[in-house]
Amino acid sequence: MSDTRPYKKTTLPNGVRIVTGRMEGVKSASLIIAYNVGSRIEPAPIAGAAHFLEHMLFKGTTNRPDPLTISQEIESVGGILNAGTGRENTSYWAKVPGMHLALAFEVLADMLRNSVFDPDELEKERKVIFEEIRAVQDIPEDMVHDVIDQLVWGDDPVGRDVAGSEETVANIDREAMVDFFHRNYGADRLVVAAGGDVNHEEVVALTERFFGDLPVTINPHTSTVASSDQTEKRIKLITRDTEQAHLCLGFPALSYYDDRRYVQSTIEAILSSGMSSRLFQEIREKRGLVYSVYGYFRSHEDIGQGVIYAGTDTERVKETIEAIMVELKKLRDEPVPEDELERTKTLRKGRLLMGLEDSRSVASWVGSQEATYGFIETPEEMMVHIDAVTSAQVQELANDLLQEQLMNLVLIGPYAREREYLPLITLD
């Protein structure tokens, strides 16, 4: 009998996990090489090391000493090559025509096994990262999201900027980077994910060829357990002569292991999914207070965070804060009507399915679930969880999360007196 499962998994003897999702009729193949290594595990003096390392793996190998060659080989077949670093993972990926999957493996494996960490390239890239950090500081609508993380979590690594600071990035010399690389990029932290025009057995064979001898980690860096001991609401003003005010309201939320995560994502959708969501309709359409308003939840292994962002006229910031609090209080105090809940569920299921039409999306789906949970949930299985969410569960979780003493507000604009804005953070 043939295997009809939509996703397949193999684990190599050294612990490398391989997951694939084949898509019929798709001509592209996406390959993601993902490590459970992110900014949370970094020692404080070298915060930003994971992100800096990600940059450096594009800067030359023993086989491809010219950094240009790395990108040219993928782009010469019409492909795309990139990477990204988060708080708990780093991913390197390539999207190519299916016939060139082996090339994608070869280039990514060369980067991850044979990078030379040239000292001159390291110093050039350090300056690039300095500019990246400064660019965020120059853009208030980006900066406010970093500051809310810091305000909610304080000195905990989960609240640090993934890129680190100029001070800590300056501390990362070649020896520290190579040490971070060898200690953390081991087989036990590696997931190889492929989606699109792929064959599972071929992906397994290529992984064995390029990563089958990869050793496991020895004395790796690990993260500390994050927690919140907040007992009163907090505010941070950043005084700038801006034409628009930018604000984020943040609060602790659920980890991605919490069984109520499906309820939490339903709350996110009610508040912020699309032009029919509550925040958009009430604060932009009906009141005309903002051009942009949205919310999101970001979950980690042991903790999570909810954030509401708004950009508004500097003269209407108080009214905007009050309007956001009204919507949060309504979600906490009033059951979500069944017709709205059903519309939200249908929206979530539709976007889930549409989001898996691309080979990279499928590779990301299977890779992230394997890295996070150790198994892969199908869209159909996830939709069962979405359908199971009740109005009572939404209200119960809203009451747990939306507590006034857990609220944090960051406001960037021409303001200086916190006492004017702190009383606006109320759920009474």
DSSP H or E stretch at residue 326: helix 317-333
Under DSSP, is residue 304 helix (H, G, I), strand (E, B) or coil?
strand
Backbone angles phi, psi at 290, to 5 degrees: -140, 160
Q: Are 169 and 163 in contact (CB under 8 A)?
A: yes
Structure tokens at 248: 């984020």
Q: Are 236 and 420 in contact (CB under 8 A)?
A: no
Q: Distances from the Cα of 2 to the Cαs of 6, 10, 176, 285, 343, in angstroms?
A: 12, 17, 49, 53, 38
Instruction: Report the distance separating Cα 97 and Cα 198, nearest Å.
Output: 10
Tell which residue, 137, 140, 145, 428, has the closest CA to residue 312. Answer: 140
Tell which residue, 112, 184, 193, has the closest CA to residue 370. Answer: 193
Q: Are 59 and 71 in contact (CB under 8 A)?
A: no
Q: DSSP characters for 74-127? A: HHTTT-EEEEEE-SS-EEEEEEEEGGGHHHHHHHHHHHHHHB---HHHHHHHHH
Cβ-based neighbour number of residue 256 at 10 Å: 18
Q: Are 180 and 156 in contact (CB under 8 A)?
A: no
Question: What are the catalytic residues?
Answer: 54
Q: DSSP characters for 379-399? A: HHHHHHHHHH--HHHHHHHHH
Tell which residue, 226, 250, 222, 224, has the closest CA to residue 236. Answer: 250
Q: DSSP characters for 329-355? A: HHHHHSPPPHHHHHHHHHHHHHHHHHT
Instruction: Report the distance separating Cα 98 and Cα 30, nearest Å.
Output: 8
